[in-house]
Amino acid sequence: MPFCLRILRSVGLWENRKYFYRFVFACFWIGCIILFPKAVFGMGSNRFDSMAKGWSEFIYQANLVGAAVIFAAKGTCFKQLIELLARIIDEATDNDLTGNCYKEIRRQNGQIDKFAKFYGIYCCICPMLFSISSIITTNIQYFTADRNSSEELKFEIPMEQKFYGMHVRTNYLHYNIFLAISMTSYYCCAFVSVVKVSTMIIMVKYCSLAFRLVAIQVQDLSQLPQNTPKTPKLIRIVNLHNNAFEVTDLAEEILCFPVMMQFMSTVLFWCTTMLYMSTNLDYTLLNVLVIFFLSMIETYGYSYLGSQLTDEAAAVGAAIYDLPWYNEPPELQRQYRLVLQRSQLETGITAAKFFIVGIDKFGSLAQMSYSYYLVLKDTLTMRIENGMMQD
């Protein structure tokens, strides 16, 4: 993962720790500009839909920073994971640059590099996409407003929040100062998102690769000539299989709590976002969709790659079982049995040990979010109707 490791190295999360202050500053700045004002000063509006948008933004940003901090605290585990992956790749290829394992590694590395760069570019564009509609609308309002009118202008800000006593919604100077400061925090969020999402998703992808390399080695074993000794090759497969489980265990230790936080926050975030979108079909929809798609990419990535990891681990057992292992000497049969026994265990990334993450959980999460949205919408409608009756 050269692109991800370069990004991590630039903020002191890989190898050289002298740049770690950059990561600390990015998280601190997000907290000071977005999280603290939202939590302490409020959203700046009493409208329920605006408050729903503000809290959905808060949930997304808090989850982003919290998961990134957990990842930073697991630096030792991540280093062990990278070293073990390098060892697995060396053992699987055995300096053979024409074999099936080498071709599979190159193919997957190409896919991973494209995804990481695509996500990085998307995150670079996101802050401007997130803010552009509010900037354009506010400037049109300000420069076309009737100066003789007694009606006070209300500016649109990218995020629903108050900001340290400044009149960001009515004072044009305060608005521009706030916009300049908040844009820096949005870019910090984008950078932290690249650090967190691309690294964690790619981590799961490489765990799947480790098991796929074992399956390829098993298939190569079946193509050996009849008189070729299979014991050294099989022992290497068993060791490679054990290393694949060790890599998955390290990834599980790093990811279990961030994945749980992602699934819990996604339910709340999607629910409040859908509530806002159902009542506001205007230009503000663009900045809501920017964050919504970021959340969907991450949650779907964990779910899809979690299912892929489980399938690849099970495929090793199927590949071993398809071999004529029952015709081999007892010594070799014991080695086969070791791989078969390990393959019978369901393998994957869990959400804090509660469940193994898979594509089916993504569907359940979407259904749950929609159900909660309907309950909130019905409750809001009933309160509005009761208020109108009392009036």
pLDDT in tens, 367-382: 888 887 787 777 777 7
pLDDT of residue 225: 63
- What span, in angstroms and rounded, lies between the C-alpha atoms of 352 and 53? 28
For residue 269, what is the enclosing H or E element? helix 231-279
Q: What is the DSSP letter of 99?
A: S
- Partnered with residue 166 across adjacent β-strands are 163
Distance of CA 140 to the CA centre of its chain: 36
Task: Give the count of beta carbons closer than 10 Å to the beta carbon of residue 225.
Answer: 5
Overall average pLDDT of the 321-346 stretch = 71
Residue type, 159: M
Residue with tokens 């070729």: 228
With a cut of 60, say whether residue 243 has pLDDT above it: yes
| Least confident segment among 5-19, 274-288, 308-322 | 274-288
The token pair at 8 is 């991590």
Distance of CA 56 to the CA centre of its chain: 17
Task: Give the count of beta carbons closer than 10 Å to the beta carbon of residue 245.
Answer: 18
What pLDDT band is residue 318 in, cutting at 50, 70 and 90?
Answer: confident
> 47: left (phi > 0), else alpha (psi -120 to 50), else beta?
beta
With a cut of 60, say whether residue 391 has pLDDT above it: no
Overall average pLDDT of the 34-43 stretch = 85
pLDDT of residue 29: 92
Distances in whole angstroms, Cα of residue 222 to Cα of each of 14, 243, 270, 325: 40, 21, 49, 10
| Under 8 Å between Cβ of 56 and 276 | yes
Q: pLDDT tens across 88-109, in order?
A: 888 888 777 677 888 888 888 8
Q: pLDDT tens across 259-286, in order?
A: 888 888 888 888 877 777 777 666 667 7
What are the b/e assignments for 191-221, b being 16+ CB within 10 Å? Answer: bbbbbbbbbbbbbbbbbbbbbbbbbbbbeeb
Q: If we measure between CA atoms, which residue out of 307, 294, 316, 302 comes closest to residue 254?
A: 302
Best mean pLDDT range from 44-48, 173-177, 295-299: 173-177
- What span, in angstroms and rounded, lies between the C-alpha atoms of 252 and 258? 10
| Under 8 Å between Cβ of 288 and 277 | yes
Residue type, 238: V
Domain layout of the chain by residue ranges = 2-378
For residue 184, what is the enclosing H or E element? helix 172-193
Q: What is the DSSP letter of 195?
A: I
- What span, in angstroms and rounded, lies between the C-alpha atoms of 159 and 57? 7
Q: If we measure between CA atoms, which residue out of 350, 352, 287, 339 comes closest to residue 313?
A: 339
| Under 8 Å between Cβ of 274 and 105 | no
pLDDT of residue 170: 83
What pLDDT band is residue 309 in, cutting at 50, 70 and 90?
Answer: confident
Residue type, 108: Q
| Under 8 Å between Cβ of 42 and 153 | no
Overall average pLDDT of the 192-214 stretch = 87
Altogether, the residues listed in the chain come to a count of 391
- What span, in angstroms and rounded, lies between the C-alpha atoms of 181 and 336? 61
The token pair at 256 is 């279990």
